[in-house]
Amino acid sequence: MKLVPTPRFPTMFSRLPFRLLALALFATCASLLAAGLYIQHVQGIEPCPMCILQRYALMVCGVIGLIAGLHNPGRGGQNGYATLLAIAAVAGGGVAARQSWIQWYPPAVSECGPGLEYMLERFPLASSLPMIFRGAGDCSVVDWTFLGLTIANWSFLAFAAILAGLVAYLLQRRTRGA
């Protein structure tokens, strides 16, 4: 009797071409950004500076997916895109994790700080980033939830899913020897 091995999660990606995965990443990121714009412009919830940084990181992930999908590189190029994608996803996930922490444990004194645009125009980047990560008063406010999770929580999960998918793809590619 011949035993058929049970397919593992990473082998699911081995059947999909790199170009398709990269373009699916772009479509997913574009959809998430569209949802954020809907929440902002239709529901009237203004994003805080940390939300805006998460949008930038998600946009970078999507642009990397689009460029990688159009380029359809070989193994070396895929490694380059994977490195850039990992950097963007870790950065976005870090901001989302920090904002989630601020929402769970809001500062004792909650005051509205200046907006992201004002901080970047008036202060050097080295001074702006600590102010952004300290979190303005509006970064701790929970204006919207879905299934009990805030926008920052969902953002963190999206970046974690991007990283998990990237790791799964790289692991299956390594075991496949492609």
pLDDT band at 137 (very low <50, low <70, confident <90, very high): very low
Judge whether residue 15 has pLDDT over 50: yes
Instruction: Give the mean model confidence (pLDDT) for residues 151-160.
Output: 90
Output the six-digit token pair for 115: 């907006």
**What's the pLDDT score for residue 98?**
86
Q: What is the pLDDT of residues 38-97, one digit of tens each?
A: 888 888 887 887 888 898 899 999 999 999 999 988 888 888 898 999 999 999 999 898
**Burial (CB count within 10 angstroms: exposed 0-12, middle 13-18, buried 19+), residue 110:** middle
In eight-state DSSP terms, residue 73 is: -
**What's the pLDDT score for residue 57?**
94
Residue 33 near residue 59, CB atoms below 8 Å: yes
**What's the pLDDT score for residue 130?**
67
Judge whether residue 158 has pLDDT over 80: yes
Q: What's the start-to-end Cα distance of the chain, in Å?
A: 30
pLDDT above 90: percentage of residues in the chain: 24
Instruction: Give the mean model confidence (pLDDT) for residues 131-159.
Output: 74
**What's the pLDDT score for residue 161?**
92
Residue 165 near residue 20, CB atoms below 8 Å: no
Sequence length of the chain is 178
Lowest mean pLDDT among 40-44, 110-114, 157-161: 110-114
**What's the pLDDT score for residue 10?**
47
More confident residue, 4 or 38: 38
Judge whether residue 110 has pLDDT over 60: no
**What's the pLDDT score for residue 150?**
82
In eight-state DSSP terms, residue 147 is: T
